[in-house]
Amino acid sequence: MEYLYETHLHTSEVSACAVSSAAQQVAMYKKQGYAGIIVTDHFINGYSTCPKKLPWDKKMEFFASGYVEASKAGKKSGLDVFFGWEFTIRGADFLTYGLDLDFLITHPNLDLMEIVEYSNVIRKSGGYLAQAHPYRDAYYIENKYPVQPYLIDGVEVYNSYDRDEINSRAYSFALANSLPMQSGTDSHGKSDRRYRGIILNKKAETIHDIINAIKEKKVKLV
């Protein structure tokens, strides 16, 4: 059997750009035949709805609320839901998997880190880091090129919100540097134009099953 997973998804509870709630996202992905989704809401240094005046632990609880609501809906519908986030550094985005709310709570000021420090902390803590849409040419992105390959574990080479030429450059970068590849919808909800993701030949029980499959290059790209 084959199992389809979304690797890049936002909820309106947390991400200011999203138009669908966590429960609505779960319902849509269940209908599309996905086995699971990774909720990657924008972290508080990105396009987030998190109130700025909250103390750090409350900010992190707020940040995780999209995942929590999606997880509740997923348990009811039979869709597996995993936790992640999209970290932003001067407009460049990094999908982060494999760590939990406790990690976030115990790392205050994580949002202020530059990429070298952030990469070091995440990966030493057992997390996985992939640069999302590395060649996106939006006005808010200061550096429209990938970071140094040694700083990341993988590359998002297909994103439904980018032109074919942009995705092709990301693919070439990953290929040239022997980096694992992944595909994601960058889902915002009802406005999504086409669904993407990765296909595993074995059901993922944990987020680390997905991470390992990507790292071992044992995924099919949608």
- pLDDT tier for residue 141 given thresholds of 50, 70 and 90: confident
The residue behind tokens 């991470």 is 211
Q: How many CB atoms lie within 10 A of CB 195?
A: 18
Return d(Cα 68, Cα 14) in angstroms, integer.
Answer: 11
Q: Which amino acid is at 88?
A: T
- pLDDT tier for residue 194 given thresholds of 50, 70 and 90: confident
Task: For strands 36-39 and 3-9, give the pairing.
Answer: parallel
Average pLDDT taken over every residue of the chain: 95
What is the percent of the chain with per-residue pLDDT over 70, rounded to a whole number? 99
Domains of the chain: 3-221 (3.20.20.140)
Stated pTM of the model: 0.96
Q: Is the pLDDT of residue 137 over 90?
A: no
Q: What is the pLDDT of residue 99?
A: 98
